[in-house]
Structures are given as structure tokens and as C-alpha cells.
A and B are shown apart, each in its own frame.
Chain A
Amino acid sequence: ETGVTQSPTHLIKTRGQQVTLRCSSQSGHNTVSWYQQALGQGPQFIFQYYREEENGRGNFPPRFSGLQFPNYSSELNVNALELDDSALYLCASSLPSGATDTQYFGPGTRLTVL
């Protein structure tokens, strides 16, 4: 196991609602990246947090937002949910910049928007 945990494992919401997903990084990892994986697609980068600051963002609208806490755990918030937001949301933690390329993924949260 990678030591990265996510909660909840599954979630069902309706259009227009808001959702918060949580991620606890592997011990010692201060960087968390979030990815969205739609059915049949590869994961797409949403954003990354490094030492509590956003450190890069993919092509996602502002209704996707995040936080990182002093213990390096992280949240992904999505407002005004749309049907296309249905996907597996993955977080990945990694070691300090420059030390390694490896990102370790959590088991994901499967979000269904009805």
C-alpha cells in the first residue's frame, strides 16, 4: 500500500450541489496532486499543493478549488456540480521537490453526479 488515503470512497450527489473530497498524504510527503479520471480515460491533472500553496493548475474551471493543511493533508472542493464531474478523483503525494519523480496514488473517490 502507498500510505495515501482518501475519503469517502464513493459519493453520490445531484447537479448543482457542492462536494468536498479528502486526502491524507504519505508520511513525509509535502506535495499533493489531484487528478480527475473519467470513465475510459487517463487521469487529468487538476492542481497541486506544495507546503499549503497551490503550485500549478490544469485546465479546470474555478469551481474546482483546494486546500492543503499544515499536516499536508488536502481537500478538493467542487461547487455547482455538473453531470460531467462524475469521475474517479485521485490524489497523489510525493516527496520534496527535486528528490524524486514518484507520485503515490490513493485509492480514489468515485463521484457520481445525478
Chain B
Amino acid sequence: RKEVEQDPGPFNVPEGATVAFNCTYSNSASQSFFWYRQDCRKEPKLLMSVYSSGNEDGRFTAQLNRASQYISLLIRDSKLSDSATYLCVVKLHSGNTPLVFGKGTRLSVIA
């Protein structure tokens, strides 16, 4: 079983749609969780950290369910500029430990 698994995608949605990405992780001892965004042929960039209480940043909402080892990202009112690959990322411990990435889910927002 892969350490971090994501929806295979791709997701093709119209502008204004709401889209949800799901992710599961295998190591129950994992401590830190993130969503990164990666544009084509560019480096990954941190979109948001994910906290147990859930957190929101504008149109983006992230949720964590530790019991189910499940992470989600919701994007409301999709924009063309949201088109990218979204990477679910987990760390075993806080501080300087490696990031474990999922394969990524590609989103295309269509006009």
C-alpha cells in the first residue's frame, strides 16, 4: 500500500464549480499534513497546511480526519487559474523530516 494515496484524476470542471480532492495516508503516526500545488513543469508550492480542526483560506478548505487517516481539499467557485496538480503531503514528525507526497491529482478548470 502506498504511503499517500490520492484520487487519480484528472478532474475537468467548469468555472465556478466546487471540486473536492481526497487523500488517505497509511502511517497513523503521521503528524503534519499539507496540500501543495504544482503548475506544469514548475516546483510544488505550499497551498495550505491541514489541521485537525479544519482550516479555510478564501475559497479553499482543508479537512483532516485522523481516525480515518483521511485528508480533503475543497475548492469553491473554481477559477481558470486553479488549473494545476494538487499534491497531498504528509510528514511523520514536525520539524526537519521528509515530506511524503501523493502522486497528485490534476485539475483543469474550463471556461
- Interface of A toward B, CB cutoff 8 Å: 2, 31, 33, 35, 40-45, 48, 50, 55-56, 58, 88, 90, 92, 94, 96-99, 101-108, 110
Contact = CB atoms under 8 A, between A and B. Distances in A.
A44 B98 CA distance: 9
Q: Of residues B4, B41, B43, which shows the largest number of chain A Cβ atoms within 10 Å of its Cβ?
A: B43
A98 B60 CA distance: 27
Contact of B43 (A33, A42, A50, A108): A108
Contacts of B104: 41-42
Contacts of B43: 2, 90, 105-108
B96 interface: yes
B13 interface: no
Contact of B101 (A31, A44, A48, A50): A44
A100 B45 CA distance: 16
Given A42-B87, A101-B49, A108-B43, A94 B96 contact: yes
B76 interface: no
A85 to B, nearest CB: 18
